[in-house]
Amino acid sequence: MRDNGEVSDLEHLDVLVVGAGLSGIGAGYRLREMSPSRTWAILEARDSLGGTWDLFRYPGVRSDSDMMTLGFPFEPWTDRDAIADGPKILDYLRETADKHGITERIRLGHKVVEADWSSESARWTVTVERGEVREQLTCGFLYLCSGYYDYERPHDPQLPGLGSFDGEVVHPQFWPDDLAVAGRKVVVIGSGATAVTLVPSLADAGAYVTMLQRTPSWIASLPRRDRARDVLQKVLPTRAAGTAARYKNVLGTMGVYELSRRRPAVTRSLLSKGAAKSLGSTDLVADHFTPTYDPWDQRLCVVPDGDLFEAVRSGQAHVVTDTIETFLPHGIRLHSGRELDADVVVTATGLRIQIAGGVAITVDGQARPPGDLTVYRGLMFADVPNLAVCVGYVNASWTLRADLASRYVCRLLNHMQQHAWRVATPRAPAGMVGRPLLPLSSGYVTRAADDLPQQGDGAPWLMRQNYLLDRRDMLRSDVTDAMSFAR
């Protein structure tokens, strides 16, 4: 294939997108809309699109942020549920990809394992696994929309004596289709978003559920339906209603986050009062729903219409705050001496963070592991040419940031095309001080600290968690700022 006068046997694309989840589909839309003359494809490791929303199949799997902001701005979410279940989100992703001509650009069963940048030829050589077969192609720009966690290996908390347990052990990432829970004793280990989703759903399915947590999480109840959005939908055209509802929710979420950061005591009190009202007990709140940390030191969990509290209040589910001494053949012995009987144990103990989809990145043969890199605008890396990663917010819907990232990438690509530049490399100033990338103390973040890139000490080297500031920056800033270009 021919590119700027060079000839190689390998297929060459202007842009290679890795991953066909929400981010990759959004990237495809923006490439089509904003950079229509570029050649591009999406490589997806799995045999279906949808990423997270196709992988996770546990009972009740759902969003924990509202779909007006988790949906794409170019394809407003119109379903009546503002907090939606996994199958609905997957349908929406499939329909969006079909409608905008993205499905035909996705190559399923293509796992990208290596990417090597050559300064001499100004292109990436990408190695792809297709089952047993390895093949290569080249691209001018590599855009990693590969999510943030390891699809194959979840976090392994090394639960003591687990091997001696005679019942079934299930991880939410690999939920068996045929797992029957009705009438069985199920212990869900964990207190994060997955555990609080699973507990009421398993209880609904007829299980006797115990949520076993080492430490509580802050939990907020949100209405599954958003009545204000319903009104907006009645009085405004679809797109305008989508935009209005998105901004309403952006501002609402930012308000709660800022209040939590500036006046944590106020948020603690509001969340505790909300939980006490739903549970009908202040003792339960004190014992099981009052973390030692402040709200938004770790991600705030959301429960739609207070379903978790309802399950606990009605006695369908129980919460135990304790630590595991050891597993026994019939259950778990806790450090307090108490024993929990279990037929099934669900290890909702978290994901393993993985940046860049596990792709081994090299620049002119030199390895560039993500943990050694500094982010530029939270999407490119210092001294790594023509490569971007698409990551969302930790304190708001992923898509808000992912879409800005894709629009920024298209602006950069267009600038390069206009000026006939082939290479764009962020260059950090000498002596810049590195800082941790994410503002959370959650286990999954601290466990991954060594593998996460850093952010710098000033713009454009910051990873902000603020949609309004990012929006201005990503859509209007000068793409030449701290960027070196070459032909």
DSSP-derived secondary structure for 272-304: HHHHHHHHT-HHHHHHHS--SSPBTTBPPEEEE
* CB burial string 283-295: b at 16+ within 10 A, e below: ebbeebbbbebbb
Instruction: Give yes or no for residue 56 binding ligand FAD (CB under 6 A).
Output: yes
Supply the minimum distance, in Å, between the C-beta of residue 329 and ligand FAD.
31
Using alpha carbons, select from 184, 162, 183, 185 the residue that is nearest to residue 341. 185
43 contacts ligand FAD (rule: CB under 6 A) = yes
Binding segment toward ligand FAD, per CB under 6 A, in 37-45, 287-295, 308-316, 454-462: 37-45
CB of 7 to ligand FAD, least distance (A): 27
Contact between 421 and ligand FAD (CB under 6 A)?
no
Q: Is 465 in the site for ligand FAD (CB under 6 A)?
A: no
- Which of 77, 96, 110 has the alpha carbon at shortest distance from 32? 96
Closer residue to ligand FAD (CB): 160 or 369: 369
Is 364 exposed, middle or buried (CB count within 10 Å of its CB: 0-12, 13-18, 19+)? exposed
Residue 346 contacts ligand FAD per CB under 6 A = no
Q: Contact between 301 and ligand FAD (CB under 6 A)?
A: no
- The phi, psi pair for 117, rounded to 5°, reads -85, 135
Minimal distance, residue 232 CB to ligand FAD, in Å: 21
Q: Which of residues 171-200 bind ligand FAD (CB under 6 A)?
A: 194
> Near ligand FAD by CB under 6 A, which window of 15-23, 114-122, 404-412, 438-446?
15-23
Q: How far is the CB of 107 from ligand FAD (least distance, A)?
A: 9
Q: CB of residue 338 vs ligand FAD: minimum separation in angstroms?
A: 30
Token pair for 186: 């199920």
Q: Does 224 bind ligand FAD (CB under 6 A)?
A: no
Q: Which of residues 397-416 bind ligand FAD (CB under 6 A)?
A: 397-398, 402
Which positions from 378 to 397 touch ligand FAD by CB under 6 A, shown as an x/- string? ------------x-x----x
Q: Which residues of 297-328 are buried (b: 16+ CB within 10 A; e: fewer)?
A: bbbbbbbbebbbbbbbeeebbbbbbeebbebb
The Cα 66–Cα 77 span in angstroms is 10
Does 467 sit near ligand FAD (CB under 6 A)?
no
Instruction: Figure out which of the listed residues 19, 167, 295, 304 binds ligand FAD, where binding follows CB under 6 A.
Output: 19
CB atoms within 10 A of CB 150: 16
Site size toward ligand FAD (CB under 6 A) is 34
Other Cβ atoms within 10 Å of 368 Cβ, number? 18
Q: Taking every pair of C-alpha atoms in the chain, what is the biggest distance, in angstroms?
A: 74
Residues 92-151 that bind ligand FAD (CB under 6 A): 111-112, 145-147, 151
Of 399, 391, 387, 368, residue with least CA distance to 463: 391
Which residues in this chain contact ligand FAD in the complex, by CB under 6 A? 18-24, 43-46, 51-52, 56, 61, 63-65, 70, 111-112, 145-147, 151, 194, 357-359, 390, 392, 397-398, 402
